[in-house]
């Protein structure tokens, strides 16, 4: 389809599943990850280096994000799809035992990163008057999970950020939605709850397929709204709140 797609957290999990599908569809994917730890597996699954360009970027750093997006604009001239997928969660712990450092890390990787990418990409979308921003939240952002206070709160913030962007730009032409997956069989899920639990969760491939169906128009999610994908089905599509 020849789209320019930018995905954070693109070297594993849902981000990699998305990158595979976009490349297969003929799109060019600029993938971001904060480390190179998963790059070997990512390159094994998507060997086409011309269509899948991986870069190491600290998405919690304003100067790095600004510099990276400036480079994308120069290289590609546009952004058709931005998917803010980078995320972090610490091991489950009671709120009174949560350290400030861990609380801040959740907000940095889940919410601040999404804010910075949107902040520096919005001028591109406003100029284009078209395109998609998809912010990946979580079921935890809709319904808080005990022992994951920081994660739940930060993912709830992602939903609010999406709604704010749309309310500020009602006639802008681009669309911005939140995707709220339930548990997925990813390395992060296995690290938090164990491999046995992770294997019981929905596949990131299923969630990726639904996201591409949203972009193709097969599934309609209103700008500013959110979609909950849980237990291998679409559980709900919620419209944005009234202005």
> Is the residue at 188 inside a domain?
yes
Residues ≥6 apart with Cβ < 8 Å to 176 = 118, 132, 133, 134, 135, 162, 165, 166, 223, 224
Buried b (16+ CB within 10 A) or exposed e, 183-212: bbbbebbeebeeeeebeebbebebbbebbb
> Is the residue at 47 inside a domain?
yes
- Give the whole-angstrom CA distance, residue 46 versus residue 162: 30
Report pLDDT digits (tens) over 25-46.
Answer: 999 999 999 999 999 999 999 9
> Is the residue at 20 inside a domain?
yes
Nearest to 204 by CA among 116, 124, 98, 85: 85
Report pLDDT digits (tens) over 59-110.
Answer: 999 999 999 999 999 999 999 999 999 999 999 999 999 999 999 999 999 9
Residues ≥6 apart with Cβ < 8 Å to 186 = 12, 13, 14, 198, 201, 204
Q: Count up the domains in the chain and report the number.
A: 1
CATH code: domain of residue 18: 3.40.50.720
* Domain interval for residue 97: 4-238
> Is the residue at 44 inside a domain?
yes
Report pLDDT digits (tens) over 122-181.
Answer: 999 999 999 999 999 999 999 999 999 999 999 999 999 999 999 999 999 999 999 999
Predicted TM-score (pTM) of the model is 0.96
Q: Give the catalytic positions in this structure.
A: 151
> Is the residue at 169 inside a domain?
yes
> Is the residue at 243 inside a domain?
no
> Is the residue at 67 inside a domain?
yes
């Amino acid at each position: 389809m020849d789209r320019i797609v930018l995905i954070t957290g693109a070297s594993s999990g849902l981000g990699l599943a998305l990158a595979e599908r976009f490349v297969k569809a003929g799109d060019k994917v600029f993938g971001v990850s904060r480390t190179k730890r998963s790059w070997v597996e990512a390159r094994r699954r998507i060997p086409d280096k011309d269509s899948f360009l991986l870069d190491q970027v600290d998405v919690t750093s304003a100067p790095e994000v600004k510099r990276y997006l400036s480079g994308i604009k120069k290289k590609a001239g546009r952004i058709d799809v931005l998917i803010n997928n980078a995320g972090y969660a610490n091991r489950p712990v009671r709120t009174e035992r949560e350290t400030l450092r861990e609380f801040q890390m959740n907000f940095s990787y889940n919410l601040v990163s999404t804010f910075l990418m949107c902040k520096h990409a919005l001028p591109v979308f406003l100029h284009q008057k078209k395109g998609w921003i998809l912010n990946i939240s979580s079921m935890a952002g809709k319904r808080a999970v005990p022992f994951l206070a920081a994660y739940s709160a930060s993912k709830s913030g992602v939903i609010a950020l999406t709604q704010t962007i749309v309310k500020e730009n009602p006639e802008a032409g681009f669309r911005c939605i939140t995707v709220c997956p339930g548990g997925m069989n990813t390395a992060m899920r296995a690290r938090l709850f164990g491999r046995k639990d992770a294997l019981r969760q929905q596949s990131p491939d299923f969630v990726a397929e639904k996201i591409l169906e949203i972009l193709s128009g097969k599934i309609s999610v209103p700008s500013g709204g959110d979609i909950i994908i849980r237990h291998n089905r679409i559980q709900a599509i919620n419209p944005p709140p009234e202005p």
